[in-house]
């Protein structure tokens, strides 16, 4: 008889999708509230968005236990920064701190896929997108998570961000107004929910501008179209 070895992993993927869009004087960050494991929904009301600093917000997908650990580390280091400098950390500074923190753990990484958004020192919107080991880039918009492969082509089609290879460097912010960006976020989540079983229930939208931080929610489908069709077929038999 062949020996059977248990396949154990220290990681899990709890799914979910995150989106961020930067404008000339605002930033919109959004994430759905479903947390899953495999084909099970653990909760339908889980926030994936963390408020790190006065003008900086992070949305994270992946293994939510690692995400929580990462948020605690960033919060502690931000508190140290405040005591040493007597001010809040800027969004670009927080972006570098997040990169350093992820890279420090590169041999046993946080299984989290992050997008950081906020306002820079000039009041412009900024979005930073990351891989799991800290490589990051400032962009005009980004998406992370299980629905990102559905959302990013849609955003590319609608926003057409300039290539970072162009010289002189082009401004990465999107030309949309704040209201248009919020509507676009709602549209991409409604679309992704139809095809991704790990995205759904509600979308939490955080808007940063000169007036502060605003938060709103929009209901999404509780189940995807394929699941509803399966349930319909079960009812028939």
- pLDDT tens digits for range 77-92: 999 999 999 999 999 9
pLDDT tops 80 at residue 4: no
Beta carbons within 10 angstroms of residue 191's beta carbon: 15
> Quick one: pLDDT band at residue 223, thresholds 50, 70, 90?
low
Q: How far apart are CA 91 and CA 120, in angstroms?
A: 6
pLDDT at 229 exceeding the cut of 90: no
Q: What is the pLDDT of residue 236?
A: 55
Query: Which pLDDT value is given to residue 31?
Result: 97
Q: What is the pLDDT of residue 160?
A: 78
Give CA–CA dist 112/41, Å, rounded. Answer: 19
For residues 194 and 174, give the distance between their C-alpha atoms in angstroms, rounded to a whole number: 26
| pLDDT for the residue 230 | 55
Tokens 């990051």 locate to 136
Among residues 149, 118, 144, which one has the least CA distance to residue 129? 144
- CA dist., res. 39 & res. 48, Å (int): 19
Rg of the chain, C-alpha, whole Å: 19
Average pLDDT along the chain? 90
Q: pTM higher than 0.85, yes or no?
A: yes
What per-residue confidence (pLDDT) applies to 207? Answer: 97
Lowest mean pLDDT among 18-22, 42-46, 147-151, 222-226: 222-226
82 vs 160, more confident: 82
- What does CATH list as the number for 17-235? 3.60.20.10
For the chain, give the percent of residues with pLDDT over 70.
Answer: 88
Interval 164-198: pLDDT, tens = 666 666 667 788 999 999 999 999 999 999 999 99
**Sequence-ordered alpha helix ranges (H) in the chain:** 64-85, 91-104, 148-159, 178-195, 225-236
Q: What is the mean pLDDT of residues 120-129?
A: 93
What tokens appear for 18 in the block? 């995150």
Q: In this model, does residue 212 exceed pLDDT 60?
A: yes
User: What integer pLDDT is reported at residue 222 of this predicted model?
Assistant: 73
pLDDT of residue 13: 95
pLDDT of residue 8: 82
Domain locations in the chain? 17-235
Distance between CA atoms of residues 169 and 152, nearest Å: 22
Given this model, what pLDDT does residue 192 score?
A: 95
Residue 218 CA from chain centroid, whole number: 16
Over range 128-145, report the average pLDDT: 94
Residue 74 pLDDT > 60 = yes
């Amino acid at each position: 008889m062949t020996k059977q070895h248990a396949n154990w992993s220290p990681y899990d993927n709890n799914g979910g999708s995150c989106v961020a869009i930067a404008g000339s004087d605002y930033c919109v960050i959004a994430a759905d509230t479903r947390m899953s494991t495999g084909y099970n929904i653990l909760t339908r009301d889980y926030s994936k968005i963390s408020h790190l600093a006065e003008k900086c917000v992070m949305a994270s997908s992946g293994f939510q236990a690692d995400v929580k650990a990462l948020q605690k580390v960033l919060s502690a280091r931000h508190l140290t920064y405040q005591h040493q400098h007597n001010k809040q950390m800027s969004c670009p500074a927080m972006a570098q701190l997040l990169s350093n923190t992820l890279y420090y753990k590169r041999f046993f990484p946080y299984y989290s896929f992050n997008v950081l958004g906020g306002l820079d020192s000039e009041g412009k919107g900024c979005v930073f997108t990351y891989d799991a080991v800290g490589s990051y880039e400032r962009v005009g918009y980004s998406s992370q998570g299980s629905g990102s492969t559905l959302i990013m082509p849609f955003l590319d089609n609608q926003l057409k961000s300039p290539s970072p290879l162009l010289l002189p460097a082009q401004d990465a912010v999107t030309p949309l107004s704040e209201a248009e960006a919020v509507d676009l976020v709602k549209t991409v989540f409604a679309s992704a929910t139809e095809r991704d079983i790990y995205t759904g229930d509600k979308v939490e939208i955080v808007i940063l501008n000169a007036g502060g931080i605003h938060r709103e929610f929009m209901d999404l489908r509780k189940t995807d179209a394929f699941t509803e069709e399966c349930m319909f077929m079960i009812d028939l038999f």
